[in-house]
Amino acid sequence: MINIAEQGARLSQPFTMIDLAQIDDLMLSIYLCQGTLPTHRHVDQDELFLVHSGTISLESDWGDVVLRPNELAVVPKGVGHRSASLLASLVLLLQPRVVVDRRNGDRRLFALKGESRLEKVSLAAMGHQVVMPFNPVLVTHLDICAVQLTLCQGVGPWQTEDRHANLILCYDGRLGVETEGLGRASLGPAELTVIPSRIPYRLSSTGRATVLGLKRHKQPGLAERDE
């Protein structure tokens, strides 16, 4: 179990970063945003910015957004961008990192200004729309992943991801995570764990809990990899 606030408290210098968890080829990190980074772009990977505390501005070729706690935006590959904040703000960053050079030329060197716009998503607003327990709702897309929000109320079904690990990030409420072979864990708000592939697990909550997770897609043009 990883507590986001505890890990963030270890950061004291602007734009320093701590890796929190690896989910296959994705890395979830937390960084301290204070000041302004130079404008840059990533040709191989999308980046998801989710504010944990404070407020940041995300300026890009596709327009600017202001993100407050529990708000997120995805910057697609090739889009020039920079993050900035007057005060110290803690930001979760989710991005492919491990095998981005194996994507068969799935790169984007530049994105055209005005081609599209950055979209801001409020997890609080989406949470009010999730009414069916254990029925994930799409939040956004990141690279070959769908980011999903799930309402947990009662005891959910057993499930297994045969090919990929799964991120379980408790957004609000209290969540029980039960696995076969790895024991049980209890998660509170802003706590997370990663379930390895092929490990059966189920989620439960005596009240109402909301969970942020990932669902992998097959990359266009590539066959699924046997493991």
Domain ranges of the chain: 2-121, 124-216
CA distance 150 to 180: 21
Q: Tell me the one-letter amino acid at 217.
A: H
Per-residue pLDDT, 174? 97
Closest CA to 162 of 204, 225, 94: 225
Beta-bridge mates of residue 219: none
**pLDDT value, residue 225:** 42
Domain spanning 124-216, CATH class:
mainly beta
**Average pLDDT of the residues of the chain:** 89
3-state secondary structure string across 176-222: EEEECCCCEEEECCCEEEEECCCCCEEEEEEEEEEEEEEEECCCCCC
- Position 101 confidence tier, pLDDT thresholds 50, 70, 90: low
Residues 6+ apart with CB under 8 A from 105: none
Sorting pLDDT into bands at 50, 70 and 90, what band is 91?
very high
3-class DSSP assignment, residue 129 = helix
CATH class entry, domain 2-121: mainly beta
pLDDT tens for 159-202 read 998 888 999 999 999 999 999 988 999 999 999 999 999 999 99
Q: Are 61 and 113 in contact (CB under 8 A)?
A: yes
Residue 211 has pLDDT above 90, yes or no: yes
| Cα 11 to Cα 192: distance, rounded to the nearest angstrom | 19
**Which band of pLDDT confidence, cut at 50, 70 and 90, is reported for residue 221?**
very low
pTM, full prediction: 0.90
The CA–CA distances, whole Å, from 197 to 100, 106, 194 equal 20, 25, 9
The Cα-based distances of 203 to 133, 157, 191, 211, 223 in angstroms read 11, 8, 14, 10, 31
Which residues, other chains included, contact 226 with Cβ-Cβ below 8 Å and sequence gap of 6+? Answer: none
Q: Comparing 2-121 with 124-216, is the CATH topology the same? A: yes
Per-residue pLDDT tens for 7-65?
Answer: 999 999 999 999 999 999 899 999 999 999 999 988 888 999 999 999 999 999 999 99
pLDDT of 100 above 60:
no
Q: pLDDT value at position 106?
A: 67
CA distances 1 to 33, 92, 119, 199, 209, Å, are 24, 16, 30, 16, 16
Q: Which pLDDT belongs to residue 56?
A: 97
> 220 pLDDT band (50/70/90 cuts)?
very low
